[in-house]
Amino acid sequence: MTDPIFQSDFLQTLQARGYIHQITHPAELDAAARAGIVAGYIGFDATAPSLHVGSLIQIMMLRRLQQAGGRPVVIMGGGTTKVGDPTGKDASRPQLTDATIQSNIASIKTVFEKFLTFGDGPTDAILIDNDAWLSKYGYVEFLRDYGTHFTVNRMLAFDSVKLRLEREQPMTFLEFNYMLMQSVDFLELNRRQNVTLQMGGSDQWGNIVSGVDLVRRVDQKAAFGLTTPLLTTASGGKMGKTALGAIWLNAEQLSAYDYWQFWRNAEDGDVGRFMRLFTDLSLDEIARFEALEGAAINDAKKALADAATTMLHGAEAAASARAAAEGAFEQGVTSADLPVVDLPKDEWEQARSTRALVKAAGFARSLGEAGRHMAGNAIRINDELVVEDRMHSYDELLPGHGAFKVQFGKKKIVLVRPV
């Protein structure tokens, strides 16, 4: 089966850059995108003060919609966060207070402003909290108006529910209602903002289809759903998961340097794909980078890191991160832009060993694991290879930094500073 040929700029761009996994009504959506301004939304729950890079493909989808003359609508899940999306989870989410949810929303909002243009114009982005309507419903009213449009039989067939039950993990009735709430979001947005498109990851297909069906059934109006493919690395790993933890989008949770390094360390087979998905580099430029071979692939990785970091943190931060990384890894220069871990002096006084430094830097979860890294010739302290545990003194602190330079492999450096 050949890929459909789209006529609208929006779907042509999505297809060419690899965003499309499933579409509910491809011909209708294509025609709507050609005929006028399509308003499309994606929902983001506020379970933490920052989104991570796993959400970036969704943010970029909204960016592509705006670039093609559509109107992006960002939905913050002030209401749905109180329930928690069960998709892909084996346990219920912790219950957050209203104050924590609103604090998280305020923090997350700042990221969208880096990728989208907000305002009052016809194609300007808007941000809405779904608590504005979800918390206004009475329980009986909600069930009466919308419960009749959902059958338990069909809900049990969707992967978000079925896979949880197949793993014999309990699913609360609270979580079971999440699909209804997300579907009602689409109906409310269609009525309030003329939103006709809901987008999301492939794991949201069941929830999205339910929302499309609800809009079409209750109001007999056009509604469409579109999902992106599940993102994995070329080696099959989960996108955004690293030895140092999640790749957060807020600078307070992850520095521009670490963000640049994440993209710089992409696998060779991912560089072109990541450029298409996560940068505004032209397809011709990307094709030239994909043609590079051998050591020259590193130039493509740096271009990916530059473009992605500039979009989120700005050109100055990207240039500073690149200079710090090149200095540290290629020239042996230690920059103030390198990530720093503060190690309380009382902890440092108790164990001044190489293993303690490796563990403090976040390169090992235990002293034993740190020892195995050393035995594998993976650890350098102040650029010196250390293969056996030894004691370190304050005399070894790098001048001007008051820290130890701890390097793991060829790609990770952290300054550990006794404070």
Average pLDDT over residues 31-45: 96
- Look at residue 166 and tell me whether its pLDDT is greater than 80: no
Q: What CATH number is associated with residue 58?
A: 3.40.50.620
Quickly count: other Cβ atoms within 10 Å of residue 322's Cβ: 20
Say yes or no: 224 and 260 in one domain: no
**pTM of the shown model:** 0.79
Q: What are the tens digits of pLDDT across the range 366-410? A: 888 888 888 888 888 887 788 888 888 777 777 666 788 888 877
Starting at the earlier edge strand, list the strands of the sheet with 22-23: 22-23, 224-228, 197-201, 39-45, 71-77, 126-129
Quote the CA–CA distance of 297 and 268 in Å, as a whole number.
7
Write the CB contacts of 47 (distance below 8 Å, at least 6 apart in sequence): 81, 84, 93, 96, 104
Average pLDDT over residues 194-216: 94
Res. 87 pLDDT band, cuts 50 70 90: low
Expressed as residue numbers, the domain containing 37 is: 9-228
Nearest one of 21, 54, 25, 55 to 38, comparing CA atoms: 25
Res. 360 pLDDT band, cuts 50 70 90: confident
- Look at residue 100 and tell me whether its pLDDT is greater than 50: yes
> Do the domain assignments include residue 71?
yes
Instruction: Tell me what pLDDT residue 371 has.
Output: 86
Sign of the CA dihedral 44, 280, 10, 193? positive
Q: What are the tens digits of pLDDT across the range 309-327? A: 999 999 999 999 898 887 7
Say yes or no: 300 and 212 in one domain: no
Termini Cα distance of the chain:
62
Instruction: Tell me what pLDDT residue 135 has.
Output: 87
Alpha carbon of residue 214 to chain centroid: 28
Instruction: Tell me what pLDDT residue 1 has.
Output: 43
Percentage of residues in the chain with pLDDT exceeding 70?
Answer: 88
Question: Over the Cα atoms of the chain, what is R_g?
Answer: 24
Res. 55 pLDDT band, cuts 50 70 90: very high
Say how many domains are in the chain.
3
Q: What are the tens digits of pLDDT across the range 129-162? A: 999 998 888 888 888 888 888 877 777 777 767 7
Nearest one of 41, 9, 38, 17 to 204, comparing CA atoms: 41
Quote the CA–CA distance of 116 and 72 in Å, as a whole number.
8
Q: What CATH number is associated with residue 301?
A: 1.10.240.10
Cβ contact 149:217 at 8 Å: yes
**Residue 175 dihedral angles phi and psi, to the nearest 5°:** -65, -35
Instruction: Tell me what pLDDT residue 258 has.
Output: 87
Lookup: tokens for 406: 């701890």
Q: What CATH number is associated with residue 371?
A: 3.10.290.10
Quote the CA–CA distance of 255 and 258 in Å, as a whole number.
5
